[in-house]
Amino acid sequence: TFVVTENCIKCKYTDCVEVCPVDCFYEGPNFLAIDPDECIDCALCEPECPAEAIYSEDELPDDQEEFLEINADMAAKWPNITEKKDPPEDAEQWDGVKGKKQYLER
């Protein structure tokens, strides 16, 4: 599966959802999640993210391991999203900021 990681938090650009052939992105208040049971590992979403927040499970950085479970849990809970929408107004300011996990709204 592919995994949305910490840098999506408060950026939520949503470019990723437009390219997913199986529509497996789910939207929370300030983060998106990929359903690991639906993802077909096509890798199309990875280069689309302006925040470079999407990784293959196999290439997940060590400090992002917990996002595997976060994606699975949140995808089961949040509504599906298939169309790009405007990012938060302050998205650019949050891009690349470390330690954003504390702001993840579930």
If one asks whether residue 70 binds ligand F3S (CB under 6 A), the answer comes out as: no
* In contact, 92 and 18? CB cutoff 8 Å: no
* Helix, coil or strand: residue 3: strand
CA distance 47 to 49: 6
- Stretch 25-84 residues interacting with ligand SF4 (CB under 6 A): 34, 39-45
Q: Which does 15 bind (CB under 5 to 8 A by kind): ligand SF4, ligand F3S, none?
A: ligand F3S
Question: Closest separation between CB of residue 22 and ligand SF4, Å?
Answer: 5
Q: Which does 94 bind (CB under 5 to 8 A by kind): ligand F3S, ligand SF4, none?
A: none
If one asks whether residue 2 binds ligand SF4 (CB under 6 A), the answer comes out as: yes
